Structures are given as C-alpha cells and as structure tokens.
Amino acid sequence: MQPTEHQGIYKKNDKLFTQNPEVCKGTRVYNEQLITEDNTEYRSWNPFRSKLAAALLKGLSIDIAIDAQILYLGAATGTTVSHISDIITNGVIYAVETSPVAAISLLKVSEKRPNIIPILSDANHPERYQSIVPQVDLIYQDISQRNQADIFTRNITAYLKPKGIGLIMVKARSIDVALKPKQAYELVCTHLQQQKLKIKKTFELAPFEKDHAAIFITQ
C-alpha cells in the first residue's frame, strides 16, 4: 500500500484505498474489498460508486485535513461519506440526506463512526440544520437536481468558512437534457461565478461516470 499526495488516501495497483478504523475492522459499507497489511485494514474506494474517488483519479488535488469540518449534501447511503470519515480521523462530517430510506443505511454506517453526523433534511433549506452544522472547511454536494448550483451556493453562504473550499458533482442531464454536457457544466460555472465563487478546476468524470463533472471552487 502506497501513501498518495493526499493524507489518508492510499494506492495499490492503481486502485484507491482508505484506512478502515479499528472499531470497523472487518466491516464493509458497500461490499468493497478489504485488504490487511501490517495489521492495518484498508478499504478499496470504487470510482464507479463514488464520484470523489473518480475525481481524484482524474487528477483532483484537494486538501482534506484530518481535523476538517465538512458539510456533505446528498449523502445517500454513505458510500463516499464513509471514505471521507476514514480520512478525517479528527474531523466531523455533517451528512445531509433527504430520503428517509437512504438515511436508514446512513444512520447504520454512522453507528460505528462517531465523526459522521447524519441529518435527515432537505438541502434546499439550509436554515433547517443551523442548530447542528457549524461553519465548515469544505462543502461537498452530490444531489443531481436541476437547481443544484443554487442549493450549493446557498449552503456556501450559510456555512462555508471564508477560506473554505467546495466541490459540486454535476450530472449534465439533471441540469438540462437539451444541453450538451459541456454546456451544462458551463451553465453551472456561470451561476457559481455570478455568486462570486472562483472555479479552480472542472474534472469530467468519464469513464467512471458518464456525463458528470466535478467542479472545484474557492471563495
């Protein structure tokens, strides 16, 4: 297992891995591969199941400190959330999900991982979780909704620290089926820039996710 430039993320045979915490040893979240080396258990991070893993393999360079505070919008059943939880051993991930069915699995994942705070809520209404979520270092969004750029910027206004960063995963077809994927990404970038956000880089996620892009922003 080789460490990568990203703290807490490892590589073996071109595959990404994170370290399973001691209390989760032997536990899988989404049937991922577990590998033990030198008494440490690693979980394979599947880029076909996690857009963050896909973006990293497509060249995303992002600083996720081990004590980072993260707001994650669209946590689903906790696939990507669980890997971020492995990385931020001294941090907290506030995981917002609107589907009660998905939230049940998310809750289960969080049982052994105290750094995941599951929040059953609608990211369209950031004020609904203001009693739980503090100012954060990173806002990550993966919700495939037509108004996702607007949801993202409103959460940034409410929760992102002045030097914080953001990552938005865009599904072109959710933005506008009539547009070519690149045009859909441009539309989202324009919206973000109108809200005074800076686009650091856009990463198309093929071959892992067709017609999806990760847009990395700063303020």
Ligand X SMILES: C[S@@+](CC[C@H](N)C(=O)[O-])C[C@H]1O[C@@H](n2cnc3c(N)ncnc32)[C@H](O)[C@@H]1O
Contacts to ligand X by CB under 6 A: 50-51, 73-74, 76, 79-80, 96-99, 102, 122-124, 142-145
Residue 76 or residue 156: which is nearer to ligand X going by CB? 76
E strand spans, 74-218: 92-97, 116-120, 136-141, 160-171, 198-204, 212-218
Residue 41 Cβ vs ligand X, minimum distance, rounded to whole Å: 20
**For residue 75, what are the contacts with CB-CB under 8 A and spacing of at least 6?**
81, 95, 96, 97, 102, 103, 106, 118
Least distance in angstroms from the C-beta of 38 to ligand X: 29
If the CB atoms of residues 80 and 202 are measured against ligand X, the closer one turns out to be 80
CB-wise, 97 or 137, nearer to ligand X?
A: 97
Min. distance of Cβ 73 from ligand X in angstroms? 6
Q: Provide the minimum distance between the beta carbon of 152 and ligand X in the complex, in angstroms, as a whole number.
A: 11
Which CB, 2 or 29, lies closer to ligand X?
Answer: 29
Rounded to whole angstroms, the Cα distance separating 67 from 195 reads 28
Which residue number places its CB atom closest to ligand X?
74
Nearer to ligand X, 43 or 51 (CB): 51
Greatest Cα pair distance in the chain: 52
- Taking the complex as a whole, how short is the minimal distance between the CB of residue 78 and ligand X, in angstroms? 6
Judged by CB, which is closer to ligand X: 62, or 102? 102
On whether the CB atoms of residues 70 and 94 are closer than 8 A, the answer is: yes
Cα–Cα distance between 134 and 164 in angstroms, integer?
Answer: 13
Q: By C-beta, is 84 or 162 nearer to ligand X? A: 84
Alpha-carbon torsion (55, 107, 19, 37), positive or negative: negative
Provide the minimum distance between the beta carbon of 148 and ligand X in the complex, in angstroms, as a whole number: 8
User: Residue 141 CB, nearest distance to ligand X (Å)?
Assistant: 9
- Which candidate, 136, 139, 134, 100, places its Cα nearest to that of 120? 100
Q: Which of 214, 190, 189 is nearest to 204 (CA)?
A: 214
* Of 56, 105, 89, nearest in space to 214 by CA: 56
Half-sphere exposure of 58 (CA within 13 A, CB side): 22
